[in-house]
Amino acid sequence: MNESVIYEVADGVAHIRLNQAEKRNPLDETATRELTQCLLKAQADPKVHVMLLTAAGSAFSAGGDLREFQQKLTQPSLQVYDEGKSSAELFKVLGVLNKPLIGAVNGAAFGGGCGLACACHIVVASDKAKFGCTEVKLGLFPMVILPMVRRVVGDRMAMHMSVTATVLSAEEAQRAGIVSRMVAHDRLEDEAKALAKQIASYSPVALRVGLEGFAQTTDMEYGKAVDYLNTLRVVAFQTEDLQEGASAFLARREPAWKGR
């Protein structure tokens, strides 16, 4: 794996950093493939409880690589489709993560970068961050990221963003539901790391079961969703972590999670 994406694990947190600052961290084929690999690696690692996605330089991700776009203009449609599967695979993986993914958005998050931000469970954004589905300016429509954007901002706002290429400030993105917390630019990584550390201190099995329940009931009929989540609650009651959490609370001590 090269340096398009940097991956490190410390204290239960997988630190994943987009690392093509000079190109504004495009989601080119290499970066997309490596990011997918990092997410899957973190997902499978029992030592990882939380993932923290950051970016080098002044931009979070400006989306696709224009040079790759130009090359695709002369390629057969089937080749474009096959090569695009890496992007589709990334967003399919993002949709089923069962460990919390925190995005620390430091600057421009456009096109695929905006979709990537929407795919994070929590987004901490610099007050200098900007968000937009700007593909229509290039003669495209935000196809692969559209399901994730719609899930976060709703149909009406997703349509507005897609057809107008409107760029949202961090404050506007917070009102739209993309941003969970806005912080001063120079405090971004400290705040995001503190949040990751906080979440990593909780039961990993509670987080995993909870996120799976959240994902599975996104489009489920209300009554069925309640029944399904009640079943998951029964599962949670049988875990060692719940027994440990209850014991630690009554004893006024810190819990020692087992992750099972």
Query: Mind listing the pLDDT tens digit for each residue in 68-98?
Result: 555 555 666 665 556 556 678 999 999 989 9
> Is the CB of residue 111 less than 8 Å from the CB of residue 165?
no
Distance, CA of 134 to CA of 139 (rounded, Å): 10
Task: Give percent of the chain with pLDDT exceeding 70.
Answer: 90
- DSSP 8-state secondary structure symbol assigned to residue 96: T
Same domain, 116 and 133: yes
Determine the pLDDT at residue 251.
Answer: 87
- pLDDT higher than threshold 90 for residue 258: no
Give the pairing type, strands 130-132 and 167-169: antiparallel
**pLDDT tens profile 111-157:** 999 999 999 999 999 999 999 999 999 888 999 999 999 999 999 99
**Global pTM?**
0.89
Are 189 and 234 part of one and the same domain?
no
Once rounded to an integer, what is the mean pLDDT over residues 243-260? Answer: 85
Q: 86 with 208, same domain?
A: no
Q: Per DSSP, what are the bridge partners of residue 254? A: none
pLDDT at 1 over 70: no
Note whether residue 26 is domain-resident: yes
Q: What is the pLDDT of residues 13-68, one digit of tens each?
A: 999 999 999 999 999 988 999 999 999 999 999 999 999 999 999 999 988 666 65
- Domain with 189 in it: what CATH number? 3.90.226.10
Q: Which two tokens stand for residue 56?
A: 């080098």
Q: For the chain, what is the largest distance between any 2 Cα atoms, rounded to a whole number of angstroms? A: 68
Same structural domain for residues 183 and 96?
yes
Q: How far is Cα 120 from Cα 173, in angstroms, rounded to an integer? A: 14
208/196 same-domain check: no
Instruction: Please give the full DSSP string across 20-65, using - where no structure is assigned.
Output: -GGGT----HHHHHHHHHHHHHHHH-TT--EEEEEESSS-SB--S-
Together in a domain, 188 and 224: no
Partners of residue 125 on adjacent β-strands: 105, 182
Please check whether residue 159 lies inside any domain of the structure.
Answer: yes
Task: State which residues form the domain around 245.
Answer: 204-251
Domain identity same for 239 and 135: no
The verdict on 20 and 136 lying in the same domain is yes
The answer on 211 and 167 residing in a single domain is no
Using CA atoms, how far residue 64 sits from 103, 143, 165, 169, in Å, is 18, 12, 15, 20
| Band (218; pLDDT cuts 50, 70, 90) | confident
What is the count of structural domains for the chain? 2
Who's near 167: CB < 8 A, 6+ residues apart? 110, 130, 131, 132, 134
Question: Which region among 49-53, 84-88, 182-186, 199-203 has the lowest average model confidence (pLDDT)?
Answer: 84-88
Instruction: State the pLDDT at residue 63.
Output: 81
